Structure 1
Amino acid sequence: MQVVLIKDVDNLGAPDELVTVKNGYARNYLIPQKFAVEANPSNLKQLNERLKVKAKKAAAMLAEINKVIEVLQAEPALKLGAKTGTSGKIFGSVTSLQIARAIREQKGYDIDRKHISIVDEVKELGTYKANIDFGNGNATEVNFEVVGE
């Protein structure tokens, strides 16, 4: 029997997937527990509409991500201020939170700090790189400069 999954089911599939299962499994477990609906013409039409909407949203999100990547890679590099000693070493280190704040203030985009990873440890003044992973294989590298305050 073919069913359209409504919720994620372990070892079976994700929402909005069309899967084939045994009749008893579908009628006694999946459908009563509201994990799936029978794959009749009406439900298949609804599935196709949901998939079209989902694809349209994904395309719009990809366009937005590409726009953000373009802005982040544009010059000039981000500037981060840090308190320094006389030898040019900074007190503490630069974190992904500081980079996220700099992106928000200087480029105008709010990026979650969890998506930012710093390539090298930042302990002194200079230019460094950070990776930003947007998910779904979309990532970019951002240059930032640490300057003394």
Structure 2
Amino acid sequence: MELILKEDIIGLGYKNDIVNVKSGYGRNYLIPQGKAVIASPMAKKILAENLKQQAHKLAAIKAEAEKKGEAIKDVALCIAAKVSATGQLYGSVNANIVAEELKKLGHDIDRKIITMTDAKTVGDYTAIVHFHKEVEVAIPVKVVAENAPAEKKEEAAPVAEAPVAEAPVEEAAPATEE
């Protein structure tokens, strides 16, 4: 069944794309939800005319998507999660968690435009943000155990305390010599 999409559907296509889907999916979900219309010859002519008239507006939308993509292209996420002794996560790290972490960094991105395989073990993954059909940004996501960063902080804390203790001694020594 050939359909014209009325909105972006991740994994299927973008707005105004002509896609082929199984007839049950189109007839029972996409058309009743208002997400697509049947791609009749008349609908295709209307689509072509609308795209011709909206070319300037579509260029502005693409430029805005590229600007958003530039803002997050250098972002790398490190997500701490609870892990069992075997390295298996309790739960998983998915697109929702990636969206929350990006929001903490000041990038308000809808979770629906992020695709990522669910991370169920510690390791490196990639989340893809789909801003526009021609603008996609890959974000590296590193999943680490919650306990690992705490141990590193404990090691760093005594090192930070040692120079603080030495500093007053160094200041006091020149004062007594004068």
Shorter-chain TM-score bucket reads: 0.5 to 0.7
Q: 1:40 maps to which residue?
A: none
Q: In the alignment, residue 104 of structure 2 is paired with which amino acid? A: E
Amino acid at match of 1:68: K
* Structure 2 equivalent of residue 148 of structure 1: 145
Q: Is the 8 A contact 2:125 2:142 kept in 1?
A: yes
Offset at residue 136 of structure 1 (A) = 2.5
Point out where structure 1 has 5 or more consecutive residues left out of the alignment: 1-7, 19-47
Q: What is the total number of aligned residue pairs between the two structures?
A: 106
* 1:74 equivalenced with 2:106 (yes/no): no
- Listed as ranges, the gaps of 5+ residues in structure 2 are 1-36, 147-178
Identity %: 31
Give the AA of the match of 1:17: E
Which structure carries more helix by proportion? 2
Q: Deviations over 1:99-149 (max 9, x none)?
A: 11111212x222222222114x41222221112222333212111111222
SS at match of 1:90: strand
State the superposition RMSD in angstroms.
2.7
Q: Report the secondary structure of 2:86's partner residue.
A: coil
Compared CA separation, residues 59 and 81, structure 1 to 2 (3 A): same
TM-score (norm 1): 0.57
- The CA deviation string for residues 21-66 of structure 1, in whole angstroms up to 9 with x for no partner, is xxxxxxxxxxxxxxxxxxxxxxxxxxx9xx3xx4443333222211
Residues 56 and 95 (structure 1), Cα distance of their counterparts in 2 relative to 1, 3 Å cut: same
Amino acid at match of 1:115: I
Q: What amino acid is the match of 1:69?
A: G
**What is the 5 A alignment of 1:10-89?**
11=40, 12-13=42-43, 14=46, 17=49, 51=53, 54-75=54-75, 77-89=76-88
CA distance, structure 2, for counterparts of residue 10 and residue 55 of structure 1:
21
1:114 to 104, 109, 112: 112
